[in-house]
Amino acid sequence: MKKKPGVMIYFDMRRMVKLLTDEEKGKLFEAILDYGETGCTGELTDTLRIIWPLIQNRLDTDSFQYDKKVVKKTYAAYTRWASEHREPVMSYAQWL
């Protein structure tokens, strides 16, 4: 699977982030980047552990949607290649 180029930060997260200290904001930002890249967050403080599930859910949803788009675009590239080379094209279900 293609590596994702990054993660989205949404404006509606600001309500939670405003309640954090500057140090916690930095740790949260690092946790978001770490989770987006490796799937791990490292150690989170008590406050961050409370809000993390909300942010993690958003990151997971985005990641799932991204992965679906990558698969669809890869299949589209395959069908173009097969057509150009006069090869039989598998259905999407067979190709998966």
81-94 per-residue burial string, b: 16 or more CB within 10 A, e: under 16: eeeeeeeeeeeeee
**What is the rounded distance in angstroms from the CA atom of residue 32 to the CA atom of residue 9?**
9
> What pLDDT, on the 0 to 100 scale, is given for residue 94?
86
Q: What is the mean pLDDT of residues 13-20?
A: 91
> What pLDDT, on the 0 to 100 scale, is given for residue 1?
53
Q: What DSSP character marks residue 20?
A: S
For 38-87, write each residue's pLDDT tens digit: 999 888 988 899 999 999 999 999 999 998 998 999 999 999 999 999 99
Contacts of residue 75, Cβ cutoff 8 Å, sequence gap at least 6:
92, 95
**What is the rounded distance in angstroms from the CA atom of residue 35 to the CA atom of residue 29?**
10
> What pLDDT, on the 0 to 100 scale, is given for residue 52?
94
Are the beta carbons of 29 and 7 closer than 8 angstroms?
Answer: no
> What pLDDT, on the 0 to 100 scale, is given for residue 17?
92
Whole-model pTM: value is 0.75
> What pLDDT, on the 0 to 100 scale, is given for residue 77?
93
For residue 12, is pLDDT > 60?
yes
Are the beta carbons of 24 and 45 closer than 8 angstroms?
Answer: yes
